[in-house]
Structure formats: C-alpha cells, structure tokens
Structure 1
Amino acid sequence: MTLDPHFPQMADALNPAVMGPLLRWVLNMPGITPGHVECCIGEKRHKPGKSLVIAYRLNAQSDPIHQSRYVTGRLCPPGTEGREFEWALSKRPDLAAGALTFLHEPAMLIWAFPYDPKLIHLPALLAAESIKNRIGEQDLTGDDRVLAVESDVLHYLAERSCMIRYRVSLGGADETRLLYAKNYADDSGRDVFAVMQQLSSQFAWGAKALAYDLQTRTLWQAHVPGRTLCWADLQTAEALAERIGQCAAAFHACKIDTAQRFNQSDVTEGLLATVRLAEQTRPELAERIESAVAALLVDELNLPKPAVATLHHDLKLNNFLVDGDKLGLIDMDCVCLGDPMADLASLIGNFYLHGLREGDSVEQVHPLVKQLVRSYMAHSVHALSLPALRWQVAAALIHEVTRRSLRQMDDLRIAHIQSYLALSENYLALSRHPTGFNDVLI
C-alpha cells in the first residue's frame, strides 16, 4: 500500500469493506440492507502530498430494488474536512440537499453523482426535460421534434469529464437516434471541436463532432457504429495489429492547425516526474527508475531531429473502434502536433501493458509489436528511425506506463512494473544499434 503522510487515512479510504457501509449511510439508500451492498473502487488519482480523488460505485440488490450509485471522494488532511466542506459549499450554494457532504473518518468530501465540483452542468445534462430542450436548441436533429430522451453514462472521470449517450425519440417518424455528449470541466472541448472538424474530411472513420455548446461546456458527437478493441481481439484476430498500424499511419498523415504541441521536453519532464513520484510512493523502485531515466537522458542527446505530425496522443486499444473491416479512432481530446515516433511508442507501450496484464509473456507480445511497426512503416508518409523509435518506446514504458500505474495506484499494473522497467532497459540497449535483425523493432 502506498503511504502518504498528508493522508494517513488513505488505507481506509481505499478499503471497500470500510467505505461500503459508510457510503450507503451517506447516500441513504432505502430498502437496502448492508449485506446487499457491493462497494467497488474505480479510478484513483493521487498527487502525493497534494490530493487523492477516488471514484466509488455502489451496487445494491434487494428484491425488487436494484440500484447503482456513483460517488466521488476527495480526501482532506484530518481535521480540515469541515472547513473544506464549508468552502466547497460556499462556491456552490445552489447544490441540492445531499449532493455534497463530508465524513470525519476517513476525512473526506463526498460528492454524490451527478453532482461534481467542476462539472457544474452535469445534473441538467442528465435531466430528461432539460436535455430535451437543449438538444432542440442545438439543432442536432434537424427539423424533427424531440419527443423523449433517455440517457446512459458511458464514462465519468470526476472533476474532468463525463461522456453521455442519448437515445432520442423523434416526432414525425418512428425513429430513435443516438447522440453523444462529452461534458468538460473547462472550455477545452471548444478546441477539441475545432480539431475534429479539421479531421473529418481527412480521417474517414472516427469520432464526428456535431456542435460545441459553450454555455454547458459540452461537445456533441454523432454515433459511430462499432466496438472498442480489447487485448483478446489482438490475440484472436489475424492481421489486426497490421490494421492498427495502418490506421495510426493514416492519422499521422492528417494536417491540422492547432496550438497544442507535445515536444521532446514534455517527454523529458515526464521521465523526471516518474522519478519524483517513485521516490514519494514506491521507494523500493526509485533507484532502478532513476538509473533507467538517467541512461535515457544521456542518449536523448543523440536523437535525430523529429518529424512533425498530427498525434492522437492517447493511442491505446480502447480508443480504436472496429466495425467489420473498418477501423478508426475515438476520443480526440488530446490531439496535437509532435513527433509521430512518440505517438507510435505510446501505442507499443500500451500493447505491453495490456498483454502483461492479461497474462501473456513479453515474448508473446513481441510478434504483435513487430506486425504493428512493419505495417506502420509500409503506410507512413513519415520516415521511421528504428533507433529513435526504440528510444521512445523505452521512454514511454517509464513516463507513461510506469508513471500512470503509480499515480492510479493500480495493483494489477504495479505488479508488472519490474517487467516494464526491464523492457525499457532492453529497448534502450537496442536503440544504440543502427539496425536490428531484418530491420524489425525488437
């Protein structure tokens, strides 16, 4: 268990057996007995000495009642929870009763979904009458009158964003249309909308933006058929890794105008941040991570000047959408300009992350990585330097895979950190050779 002197209560906050009864009491779930409540802990975001935000889901069953409730807990230094509660409440005097409360033990603020400290428009976006009017005002259904709307929350990231799917019943025809809305904590969705508009004519199959609602900070998107990829698909579908490589190359060939950049200096800062994080949370790993980062920074000086391309900057399996022979990308929040090798390296790191987490060995992941890179090389408009790509993979295994594992306190991922580090060291050693056997990556 990671320890943080700033939050000595974090062990209890991360224990479902402790939090389940407390959250059931806070939420006042009627008709549910304690033995019928399952408390699940989801996304965790930890900044040592600064903050810890934990997403909880309570699943309750007591015939004929079934309830699922989402809660966000933000830990407070013990003794400050009352003051922080009053301060948070002063900023949101319009909150409904029970939307925000606090616990003395463990000391934390509790936000009951759909209330969120930063997603202030979320309750209205999930209220049937309110959203029915909003859809009409945004002219998202043409001349068809909106009769009814049903909503499903697809992904909620506390204090950051929420993706909602709407089933819209339209007048004038027996028709139901699917619309998607991503609500943001700030105005970043406006820039995402501008980028998606530029991509729509160049990248044939992917997320499509319809409108951006500045008042509610909401990006509206059209339905794209298909399902997101998982590791089992790569294990069973022949040539899927090759199709992923072709898709990534096609995305990198797009031309966009944006101020957003991901530079080599950002990679460097990510590496150094991983060292600091390990020192604070996993001192038993800190020395090895520091040594690996030091070696990377020495060799960084020899990297060739990178190309500049359109980066997805969040290339991971569940952001690829497959529908038969079509393969595309969703979640364009992080699209920017930068080195395509860094983007491809991020995807390779995600292959190893999924493979190891699903029980495959490193040797079983290598062939899929080779297929990915060979396909990318065959379809890319950008020259690919194998030594530079190997360096970027070595770096991504630390500043992305390892750092996120530590920050999210994901025990399943943390269990493989030694393997990530060994892989990083191997890729760095290979990067010092101009070519590999048959010019393959690994």
Structure 2
Amino acid sequence: MVERIGGEEVDVKSGKISYLRFKPTRDCVAQWTFSSSTGRAIFVSGKLFSDETGAAIASDASFQEQADRARITASVQSELYEYSPARRVLLQAFPLDAKLCGLPLAADAASVRDIFARALGVCRDVIQLVDTIPVSYMAWHRCVLRYTVDLDGRQANYFAKLFSDDRGLAMVTQIRALKRRLDACGSPWVIPTPVTYSREGRMLVLEALADASELRGLFRDASEDSSLIPEIKRQCAAAGAGLSAFQEVPVEGLPIVAPSDLIDGLERKTRGLSEVAPALARRISLLLMGLTIEAARLPAEKMALTHGAFRHTQMLACGDRLGLIDLDNLRMSGASADAGEFLAGLDSVVARQPHLATVAGECEEAFLDRIKAHRRPGLRWLLWYRAAADAKHAQRCFFSLPPRWPEIVEALLSSAERCLHRSRRC
C-alpha cells in the first residue's frame, strides 16, 4: 500500500511505529511513519477490529466520499485505504482518517486559504499557505497541524486542532474570555488566541505563541544538559503561581467532573484488562476501590475551573511567561485536581527517566511553594487527585505499550498507592 501511494519517493524500509493504542477485547490502532525523498513524512495507520465494524466503515458512502477528497488533496491516483476482511484490519494513509472527517479539508491548501480569508476578513488573493506540517498526529484520535501563512508579505504561524465532533465551536468564545481575564490580572500564563472554528473541518484554529519551546523538550534535554534545570524549575514555579487566578475565572458552559466521574472512567478502561493482564487489572481495581472509599471519607472540595490535562507536556516556555495549551478539556472540578495532575506528570517523568528523579523533586517543590503562596491546598485531596492521575497514566502506558512499559506501569502504580496511603494517614 505504501509503495502504491508514494511510489519511488518512499523508503518502505524506513517505516517505524510512531503510535499505538490497544483496547483489550475491542480494537488496536498502530501507526507507522515512513520517510520520503521529499522530506515529508508519510503516515499509515491500521486498525484491527474484533468484529465487522471495519467492514461497515469501509463500505459506508460518507467514508468513501471522505476518501475521495483525501486522495485529491494528496494528489495521488490510488486509494488511501484498504480493508482486509480476513484480518479485520482497515489501513488508512494520511490525510484520510475515519475518525477525523475534517482532515482532508484541513490538509487542502485551497480550503485552508478560504478559511483564513473569512476569519481574517481579507481577500483570498493576499493569503498564501506557505507550509502545512502535522506536529502531532495520532490516527483515529487527534491531529494538530501547524500552518505557516503569508499575509500580504508577512508570515505568521497558526495551529489547527482537529476534533471528531463539534466541541471546538464553543471553545472559541470560552478561550477568548479566559485569555482576556488572564491578561487583565497579570497572570504569568499566556494562552493562544483563537482565530476561528471551521465546522466543515471540525477544527479550531489558534495563533501560535511567540518564542515558544516545549517544556517537555526541556525535560528531555536536561538529561544531557544540566544548565536547563533552572529554567525548568522557573517554569514549574510559574505553573503554580498562575493556578489560583486561573481557577477563579468564570467560564460558562463547562461540564462538571466529580471524583466519581474520574473513577468511573478509569473503571471502564480497566474492564478489558482482565482478559489480557488479569494481575494488573486486579491491582488497578483495588486501587480504584481505595480511591472510591477515600473520596467518600473526605470533606467536599470547592469546585473550580480546571484545565483537565494540567501537566508539563501541555506547557510552553514563552520568555517571561508560561504558555498553556490543549484547552479542549476545560471543566469544573475539585480545586486540587489540576495540581494533582501536574504532580502526577512529574511522577511520569521519573517513571520514564529515573535519572531525573532529583530534578523532578526540585520541580515539585518549586510548584508547591508557589501554590502555597496563594492558597493552602487540601493535602488529602491533592494526594487523591495525584493518585488518580498516576493510575490514569499507568493505564495509558499499558494501552500504548512503549519500551519498558512494565517498569513504567509499576512505577506509576506504586506512586499512586503511596499517595493513597499518605492520604489515609493524614
């Protein structure tokens, strides 16, 4: 299939698995990335089904229409999908994705120019799409594209996040309101400005933050460059310093996510585990039972605006300010939820890079010191949310099966169990 689509430009031996998501008893998605002589990566995904769902998708008229559009966008003659009834596997090549039906439009230069012309209120002729790069693509799940746009001789970068539904529509108003409040109160955080939402593409377009570098990358590079550690600690302190003001911002139309909702979600994902990893499933089930009992013992916590994925992987170093991205999980939740998620993110760093344990500990201290300067967090709820997030990350690690996954899962579950034990003793 790769040879048929890419021809001689593609090195078929260069393929590497770049993403994997395993749902026991249900399905499995694997994504391969191939290099080409053009310098453009080629993404091919395969989804293995446990039933005939794949056959139904491949024969669906709307999917075939989407496939035709993707083929035209990619300027290829061959089909960008292939279904194997014997294996129950549906193969797709970017920009075709059955879950992200707007991807062919988002990858089409002419369509993107029209979107920007309408959003910016300018003539289409003064806009040129210089480049489109998938900066984060997980087949059947999500995609983030970076556009370099030339507007009458001035170039600027934008990001487009694609969704499988229309959740991005409300986000334009919500994020704009949040940005105004954060800027007005002098927050150390900065968030990207929404430009527009495309219903047809189901994509939210945002301005790129200036002079931004991923905090995730700083952690990774700190393994070999210790001079980065002070900057990492400074950014973690900024994460703590801005949290209180963020939580006070009123944002309408957000879902309420209680501790019981988090447990329910984790329990649903644990059920299939018993078929393939019964010992792991039992351990997680016992942990979730303990979290349920502990939540019932704790006094109710104040609800507050919550990011929903508040960890260093969603943060950018932007000069004097901390950039916060991935705002599509905004919700109302317990006031300790984001702080617990952030600390669990540091636990994940240690689980994957044990040699950074000291650095992670210093970052935790810097983060908590700044939180305590603004409010006294409830320690027991903080430990509870940290344990719940550790359990979530352990599940995700198993479902993606990265190298060393048994050690990573063990480290994360051990951290969750320690947090729960500490909460009980408080």
Q: Quickly name the TM-score band, shorter chain normalised.
A: 0.7 to 0.9
1:15 matched to which residue of 2? none
- Going from structure 1 to structure 2, the CA distance change for 1:210 and 1:142 (only over 3 Å counts) comes to farther
Task: Describe the SS at the equivalent of 1:202.
Answer: helix
The alignment of Structure 1 onto Structure 2 pairs a total of residues equal to 401
Bigger shift: 417-426 or 231-240?
Answer: 231-240
1:192 matched to which residue of 2? 171
Give a deviation string over 1:135-159, Cα, whole Å, max 9, x none. Answer: 2122266898214442222222323
Deviation at residue 224 of structure 1 after TM alignment: 1.0
Distance, in Å, in 1 between the alignment partners of 2:9 and 2:360 is 49
Bigger shift: 133-142 or 421-430?
Answer: 133-142
2:206 matched to which residue of 1? 221
Q: Is the 8 A contact 1:277 1:406 kept in 2?
A: no
Distance, in Å, in 2 between the alignment partners of 1:222 and 1:322 is 16
1:113 matched to which residue of 2? 94
Distance, in Å, in 1 between the alignment partners of 2:338 and 2:54 is 44
Deviation at residue 217 of structure 1 after TM alignment: 1.8
Deviation at residue 411 of structure 1 after TM alignment: 3.5
The answer to whether residue 146 in structure 2 is matched with residue 165 in structure 1 is yes
- Going from structure 1 to structure 2, the CA distance change for 1:136 and 1:364 (only over 3 Å counts) comes to closer
Distance, in Å, in 2 between the alignment partners of 1:83 and 1:293 is 36
2:377 matched to which residue of 1? 384
1:5 matched to which residue of 2? none
Unaligned runs of 5+ in 2: 72-77, 184-189, 223-227
Matching residue within 193, 197, 215 for 1:212 = 197
Deviation at residue 335 of structure 1 after TM alignment: 0.7
Matching residue within 4, 11, 19 for 1:43 = 19
Structure showing the higher helix proportion among its residues: 2
Deviation at residue 236 of structure 1 after TM alignment: 4.4
Per the normalisation by structure 2, the TM-score is 0.85
Unaligned runs of 5+ in 1: 1-22, 435-442
- Superposition misfits of 4+ residues, deviation over 3 angstroms: 23-28, 31-34, 80-86, 88-91, 103-107, 140-144, 232-236, 361-367, 411-414
Distance, in Å, in 1 between the alignment partners of 2:337 and 2:159 is 30
Give a deviation string over 1:313-349, Cα, whole Å, max 9, x none. Answer: 0112121111222112011110111112122111111
Matching residue within 1, 9, 30 for 2:8 = 30
Distance, in Å, in 1 between the alignment partners of 2:54 and 2:286 is 43
- Going from structure 1 to structure 2, the CA distance change for 1:82 and 1:338 (only over 3 Å counts) comes to closer
Deviation at residue 208 of structure 1 after TM alignment: 1.2
1:279 matched to which residue of 2? 274
Percent of aligned positions that are identical: 21
The answer to whether residue 403 in structure 2 is matched with residue 403 in structure 1 is no
Q: Is the 8 A contact 1:195 1:257 kept in 2?
A: yes
Distance, in Å, in 2 between the alignment partners of 1:170 and 1:241 is 36
The answer to whether residue 307 in structure 2 is matched with residue 315 in structure 1 is no
2:45 matched to which residue of 1? 72
Write the letter of the residue equivalent to 1:340: A
Q: Is the 8 A contact 2:113 2:124 kept in 1?
A: no
Q: Is the 8 A contact 1:167 1:179 kept in 2?
A: yes
Deviation at residue 198 of structure 1 after TM alignment: 1.7
Distance, in Å, in 2 between the alignment partners of 1:415 and 1:50 is 25
- Going from structure 1 to structure 2, the CA distance change for 1:414 and 1:354 (only over 3 Å counts) comes to same
Deviation at residue 309 of structure 1 after TM alignment: 0.8
Deviation at residue 182 of structure 1 after TM alignment: 2.0
Q: Is the 8 A contact 2:16 2:34 kept in 1?
A: yes
Q: How does 1:403-422 map to 2 (within 5 A)?
A: 403-422=395-414
- Going from structure 1 to structure 2, the CA distance change for 1:340 and 1:100 (only over 3 Å counts) comes to same
- Going from structure 1 to structure 2, the CA distance change for 1:280 and 1:369 (only over 3 Å counts) comes to farther
2:156 matched to which residue of 1? 177
Write the letter of the residue equivalent to 2:307: H
